[in-house]
């Protein structure tokens, strides 16, 4: 019941505010099984890398996106209430925004912005990030991330470092997944230590046998 209340609270507080699509709903029990808590793999941040041009242009238009993080970086404790909040925001934004390319919407190949009715994958990420920040989650835990999908095409998702490992919020599915379940190749993201910097990504060794048997990002 408390989880359901958290979902309703998230949606009420959030309000109604390319190349991306949709799918099913996740279960807290699978992502928060006790076997994952201390041993779940996190994405390994490597060297600094080039900032995406869309992010640079967004920061130039609105400096509030590029202010230093106000809260020190830390993994979120993944409680049932927080899982319900993440799931609620992920699903609600996925269904509230229509997928459309920047070329169609703005006549540009790349234009990152907070969408109102339509946007591409980066825009979904920005809206989820904004809503979760309004609901009290720290900016340093909501990391814009660039991946290559199963077809080798560029895509953007939101990654959240948690006590159950790095989770992925994706406009292509309502289910929240661990990064290694997605089938994506993780390229770069905002740094956990400083979201103003972007870092290339690798993966740590999967040490738990129940995790090592799962799919790995290439």
Provide mean pLDDT across the span 156-183: 95
Give 39's Cβ-side CA count (13 Å radius): 11
pLDDT at 204: 53
Model-level pTM greater than 0.75?
yes
| Closest to 30 in 3D by CA, of 170, 213, 175, 152 | 175
- Say yes or no to pLDDT of 17 above 80: no
CB contact burial 165-192 (16+ within 10 A = b; e otherwise): bbbbbbbbbbbbbbbbbbebbbbbbbbb
Place of tokens 């993966």: 203
Q: Tell me the C-alpha to C-alpha distance, in Å, between residue 174 and each of 27, 76, 93, 154, 169.
A: 11, 20, 9, 19, 8
What pLDDT does 156 receive?
A: 98
Residue 191 has which token pair? 């740094």
Choose the most confident range, by mean pLDDT, from 7-16, 69-78, 154-163: 154-163
Q: Is it the case that residue 123 has pLDDT exceeding 60?
A: yes
Mean pLDDT throughout 12-31? Answer: 37
Average pLDDT of the residues of the chain:
79
Are the C-beta atoms of residues 180 and 216 closer than 8 Å to each other? yes
Determine the average pLDDT of the residues in 204-211. 38
Q: How far apart are the C-alpha atoms of 141 and 106, rounded to whole Å?
A: 30
Q: In this prediction, what percent of the chain has a pLDDT beyond 70?
A: 73
Q: Which two tokens stand for residue 108?
A: 């540009």
Per domain, the residue ranges of the chain are 2-13+43-203
What does the block give as tokens for 201? 């990504």
Selection from 63-67, 90-94, 202-206 with the highest mean pLDDT: 90-94
Q: Which fold has domain 2-13+43-203?
A: C8orf32 fold (3.10.620)
pLDDT band for position 75 (cuts 50, 70, 90): confident
Using the predicted structure, report yes or no on whether residue 212 has a pLDDT greater than 50: no
């Amino acid at each position: 019941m408390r989880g359901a209340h958290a979902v309703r609270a998230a949606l009420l507080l959030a309000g109604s505010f390319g190349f991306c699509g949709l799918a099913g709903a996740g279960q807290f029990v699978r992502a928060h099984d006790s076997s994952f808590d201390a041993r779940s793999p996190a994405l390994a941040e490597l060297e600094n890398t080039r900032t995406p041009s869309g992010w640079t242009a967004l920061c130039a238009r609105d400096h509030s996106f590029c202010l230093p993080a106000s809260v020190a970086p830390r993994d979120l404790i993944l409680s049932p209430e927080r899982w319900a909040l993440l799931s609620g925001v992920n699903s609600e934004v996925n269904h509230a925004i229509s997928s459309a390319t920047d070329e169609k919407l703005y006549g540009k190949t790349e234009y990152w912005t907070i969408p109102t009715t339509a946007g591409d994958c980066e825009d979904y990420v920005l809206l989820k990030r904004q809503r979760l920040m309004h609901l009290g989650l720290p900016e340093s835990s909501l990391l814009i991330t660039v991946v290559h999908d199963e077809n080798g095409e560029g895509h953007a998702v939101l990654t959240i470092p948690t006590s159950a490992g790095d989770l992925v919020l994706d406009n292509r599915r309502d289910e929240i997944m661990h990064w290694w379940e997605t089938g994506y190749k993780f390229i770069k993201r905002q740094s956990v230590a400083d979201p103003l910097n972007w870092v290339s990504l690798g993966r740590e060794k999967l040490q738990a046998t129940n995790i090592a048997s799962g799919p790995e990002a290439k």
